[in-house]
Chain A
Amino acid sequence: MKRREFLKTSIAASAAILSTTTLSAGETRQPIDNRKVSDMAFPQKRPLITYSDRPPLLESPRSTFARGITQNDEFFVRWHLPDIPTHIDTDSYTIKIDGLVEQDLEISLKELKNDFEQVEVTAVLQCGGNSRSAFTPIPGGIQWGSGAMGCAKWKGVRLSDLLNRAGLKKDAHWIGFNGLEKAAYYKTPNFVRELELTELDDHVIVAYQMNGEDLPYLNGFPLRLVLPGYYSDSWVKMLSNITVTDKYKSLFFMDMAYRVPDNKCECETPEHHFKPTKPITNMNVKSVIGYPENGMKVYHNSHVVVRGVAFDDGHGIREVLVSVDGGKTWDKAELKQENGRYAYTEFRYAYKPADYGKVTFMTKAVNRLGDEQPFAKDIGWNHGGYKYNGIDEVTVEVV
């Protein structure tokens, strides 16, 4: 490769290096939305916004959110540890269930697909740090825009069916999940997630398919945990072990990372971090515009259809409101809800631009509990940059 081409590739391959603008403490604004997709694709993926190759960290562009189901090749990717198996022998792959069970099990992929009831759930998968770039001062972690989320139809078997097959002992209380991603150092803790038995319901599945195809490698092939309504740090990928215990075992990723202040606003100041904290579990109500995109030009008096998606943790979306006057007045968008309460609700809003110049679309989702998205500026800051759900904004120019 010629040096110039090489240089071009490497510039495009790295995500935008952030500017050094500093804002006053503890503010929240719109997440960064001008990152370009890379010109390089990862296996089974189209080119996406690429933050890291090892571990792979890929973000979907805004256009992804014009559709209710995210295609496998544009679905975001987030791993924690560098060593991800690059070959899986599907004939010998098993998932092990042990600990406080009547009978230890090793279930092969074939048995999983044949010996249990096959179920499907459509659910949103979202990183807890999605939209982290909205927070200032900048919390540690990847500075995601809004694209660390997606919605897919997940097919697999109920976790409860697997546990029933093994038989839980009387003292069983916690279930630990581990996948095949490994650290570079032997002593680094595994990316293990634990769930309390009471958190289980029939929607929690061990999935092998996503949108009718095998899971993509980078989304956890051949098996991953699916926990509808929960942030994705709980959805363990390349799931290989399930261990039932009576006591909670201290875990880095649950006890240190992925936590927010345990107060009503789940917020704190950069100077004084709030203690105690709690793990991020259930997702809050959120909407993101997929079309139009920031900076687009639309014609005066034309027919613009604003499209996007909204979701929460499974209570369901009651309405999505759109404002074109900076949030003074709101109009209802039309909703399409065909994939259940854990899925994206698609919204559409027809608008005829009557004035030339800039117009900003804002969208606000409200769920069935009446929870609604706050304005970005009203969201409290937290040091992990988690759970951002500000009202989304897109500004276009009417020409």
Chain B
Amino acid sequence: MKKLLLIAILSVSSLFAQVKGDVEVPYISYQIKMGKGFDAVQANCLMCHSFGYIINQGPQSRDFWAKKIEKMVTHFKAPITKEDAGIVTDYLFKHYGNGKLK
């Protein structure tokens, strides 16, 4: 069985919340698979988006994930090092891949 990591505790207080003053968007602990390279995913991806954004892309090729990371660096200016880009690609392809290189 694959290991799952559950991240942090979600705030249940915002259930059915209505807006009075400040808005509080709930935190959702999306299940994401644990494995080699996870630290790099956490360090580089979570700054801009939740794990939900990753796991709801559907299973994808290695090339797809590599290009996604390239897009984050080129267009969204995310400061991801070449080394981390490789580690994150490996992780995503292993856990959220479709088995195809291209």
Which A residues are closer than 8 A to B by beta carbons? 1, 6-7, 9-11, 13-15, 17-20, 22, 38, 40-44, 50-57, 81-82, 84, 86-87, 133, 137-138, 140-143, 183-185, 187-189, 217-218, 252, 256
Contact = CB atoms under 8 A, between A and B. Distances in A.
Contacts of A22: 98-100
The 10 closest A-B pairs by CB, nearest first: A52-B52, A187-B77, A138-B58, A53-B28, A10-B29, A51-B56, A86-B23, A18-B58, A13-B28, A14-B30
21 contacts: A6-B29, A15-B52, A20-B98, A22-B98, A41-B17, A43-B24, A51-B52, A52-B28, A52-B30, A52-B56, A53-B26, A55-B49, A55-B53, A56-B25, A82-B49, A86-B24, A142-B57, A184-B47, A185-B78, A185-B79, A189-B75
Contacts of B26: 40-42, 53
A13 B57 contact: no
Contacts of B60: 138, 140
Interface residues of B, number: 44
Contacts of A44: 18-19
B88 to A, nearest CB: 15
Contact of B18 (A10, A43, A57): A43
A188 B55 CA distance: 23
A188 B77 contact: yes
A13 B31 CA distance: 9
Given A40-B14, A185-B48, A185-B76, 20 more contacts: A9-B12, A9-B29, A10-B6, A10-B30, A13-B29, A13-B30, A15-B52, A18-B56, A19-B59, A22-B98, A57-B52, A82-B48, A133-B58, A140-B68, A141-B57, A142-B57, A183-B48, A184-B48, A185-B79, A256-B75
A170 B98 CA distance: 54
Contact of B56 (A20, A55, A142): A142
B32 to A, nearest CB: 9
A43 B25 contact: yes
